[in-house]
A and B are shown apart, each in its own frame.
Chain A
Amino acid sequence: MIRMENVHKAFGDNRVLNGMNLEIAKGTSMVIIGGSGTGKSVALKSILGLIQPDSGQIYVDGKPAGSGDRDKFLARFGMLFQGGALFDSLPVWQNVAFRLLRGALKRPQEEAREIAIEKLRRVGLKANVADRFPAELSGGMQKRVGLARAIAAEPEIIFFDEPTTGLDPIMSGVINDLIREIVVEMGATAMTITHDMTSVRAIADNVAMLHGGVIQWTGPVSEMDQSGDPYMEQFIHGRAEGPIEAVR
């Protein structure tokens, strides 16, 4: 469903993606792991067209990403941002129903609000949160609202950017479980980037290890511990020694 072929991206002298290849099958959950600054977010944003790769091809359902109607293309995606990226000036329900209040998917306001409240319930938040502003919510609640917004328009593909960063272990577990449940329930294709191994085991069908701008290893999560790949093993066990330099 999503295919990245020989994708390169540099920022000045810093070559972030260096011929990245990756394939994500429809309806599966792919988790990309790797250290900070290894290009995980760049890869994800390249698929969405938020960042233009210098070279290489990205295909979604066999068609080049970004070709054709951009709004229709983006309407297939939902995304949970690392910091939530909720709009401060809008109440929670309008954040969740943002896509349903404007553009091609526009619904009557009452209907959009009902859908927003239903999605908030789905991520474990009560209806009374709907009229609060993002700044009034805790980090965990903001992540849940971000998740509700990502799924509000029932997208076919959902991206999760560091979904558990900054959360305590219990809240991380809650978010991981929610992501897994929602992805399975919706039959969506999911791509998650994280360096939290608990999240990897909870969310992934398949795992890809990104380092040096290329995928070092990819395979089913069940084979991750026996990969035999030195990058993968160092990362999984959090060792300072190995092919990945501890100081980057």
Chain B
Amino acid sequence: MNPIALLARLGRTALAGLAAVGRAALFALSAFSHMIRPPYYPREFFQALLNVGWLSLPVVGLTAIFTGGALALQIYAGGARFNAEAVVPQIVAIGMVRELGPVLVGLMIAARVTSSIAAEIATMKVTEQIDALVTLSTHPMKYLVAPRVLAALITVPVLVGVGDIIGIMGGYTVAVQNLGFNPAAYLKNTVDFLEALDIISSLVKGAAFGTIAAMMGCYYGMQSGRGAQGVGRATKGSVESAAVLILAANFVLTGVFFSL
């Protein structure tokens, strides 16, 4: 391939990428603006709260407890190499709260909620339900997107908080049952070591990741192509984008909180 053609192809790809980012950004702005302007749909909002929050608790809890337990074992084994086994409570706490809790909850929400939102909205688009909403004087952004994004923005930080606690308790259980730690000393070390900023950063990350997860589900659903293939592509694209954006946002937010 000659260099000019290669350059042209690269340029086209870059432009297409930028256009996609622009479309997603405009979609997000529109979603936020619809979130604050009436009419509101409380029934859809409470339904979304239930789906995003309450029904995600089992998967979040299981992910957190196993991760916390595995983390305790890893830190104990790694710490033993330089006689630092005693730091298990502190490292489990900081690891769960600052990093693993929000990221794992974010990724589980991307897998569970983003995919379900994208598939649902894409199916609605393919079966003309979105057009039907419009003809019934109901704005799809207000009825479908705003309640889901708002519900994720509110519930995912709560899920992260719950995940942090369950993860720490997973580490505690393993440390006390298998590694011979004193229960009271473990809890005291955990509580003493954590700072307010650790918890704040965890919850802020949760809010950001929840917003990204719901937004990507809605965006890909609304942009879906025709037929079963369109629904499949929308679902796959939404989860991929949400996961990558969550990890990228985690890097940025960690940098911001580290600089504080």
- Chain A residues within 8 Å of B, Cβ to Cβ: 45, 48-50, 70-71, 74-75, 77-79, 81-83, 85-89, 98-99, 102-104, 149
- What chain B residues lie within 8 Å of A45 (beta carbons)? 131
Chain A interface helix/strand/loop/mixed: mixed
Whether, in the assembled complex, B127 has its beta carbon less than 8 Å from a beta carbon of chain A, the answer is: yes
Given the interface pairs A102-B39, A103-B39, the reply to whether A83 lies near B128 with Cβ below 8 Å is yes
CA A149 to CA B41, docked complex, whole Å: 20
Are A87's CB and B135's CB within 8 A?
A: no
What B residues does A88 contact at CB under 8 A?
123, 129
In the assembled complex, the CB of A75 is this many whole angstroms from the nearest CB of chain B, namely: 6
Chain B residues, CB < 8 A from A149: 136
* Interface positions of B from 92 to 135, Cβ below 8 Å from A: 123-124, 127-129, 131-132, 134-135
Chain B residue nearest to A75 in the complex (CB): B137
Does the CB pair A79–B129 fall under 8 Å?
no
Shortest CB distance A113–B (Å): 15
Contact B135–A77 (Cβ < 8 Å): yes
For B124, the chain A residues whose CB sits under 8 A away are 87
- B134 & A48 in contact (Cβ 8 Å cutoff): yes
8 Å CB contact of A74 from B41, B47, B123, B134: B134
The count of residues in chain B whose C-beta lies closer than 8 Å to any C-beta of chain A is: 15
Cβ contact within 8 Å between B129 and A87: yes
Q: Which chain B residues border A102 with CB–CB below 8 Å?
A: 39, 41, 138
Tell whether A85 pairs with B127 under 8 Å between CB atoms, given A79-B135, A103-B137: yes
| Minimum distance in angstroms from B145 CB to a CB of chain A | 15
Complex alpha-carbon distance, A117 and B47, angstroms = 25
Contact of A50 with B137 in the complex, beta carbons under 8 Å: no
Specify which chain B residues have a CB less than 8 angstroms from the CB of A78 in the assembled complex. Answer: 135
- For the complex, give the distance between the alpha carbons of A103 and B136 in Å: 9
Expressed in whole angstroms, the Cα–Cα distance for A70 and B123 within the complex equals 25
Q: Cβ of B128 and Cβ of A81 under 8 Å apart?
A: yes
State whether A85 touches B137 (Cβ < 8 A). no
| Cβ contact of A81, chosen from B41, B131, B138, cutoff 8 A | B131
Complex contacts, A87 vs chain B, CB 8 Å? 124, 129, 132
Q: List the B side residues contacting A49 at CB < 8 Å.
A: 134
Cβ-closest chain B residue relative to A106 = B39
Is A81 touching B137 in the complex (CB atoms < 8 A)? no
Residues of chain A within 8 A of B137, CB atoms compared: 70-71, 74-75, 99, 103-104
Q: Which residues of A contact B47 (CB under 8 A)?
A: 89
Inter-chain contact B132/A81, CB cutoff 8 Å: yes
A83 contact set on B, CB distance < 8 A: 127-128
Which listed residue, A50, A89, A103, touches B135 by the CB 8 Å rule?
Answer: A50
Contacts of A89 in B (CB 8 A): 47
Tell me which residues across on chain B come within 8 A of A86, comparing CB atoms. Answer: 129, 132
Interchain CA distance A86-B127 in the complex, whole Å: 9
A residues near B129, Cβ cutoff 8 Å: 85-88
A86 CB to nearest chain B CB (Å): 8
With beta carbons under 8 angstroms apart, the residue of A85, A98, A99, A104 that contacts B128 is A85
Identify A98's interface contact among B39, B123, B131, B136, CB under 8 A: B136
Known: A45-B131, A48-B134, A86-B129. 19 other contacts (CB 8 A): A48-B135, A49-B134, A71-B137, A74-B137, A77-B135, A81-B128, A81-B131, A81-B132, A82-B128, A83-B127, A85-B128, A85-B129, A87-B129, A99-B136, A99-B137, A102-B39, A102-B41, A103-B39, A103-B137
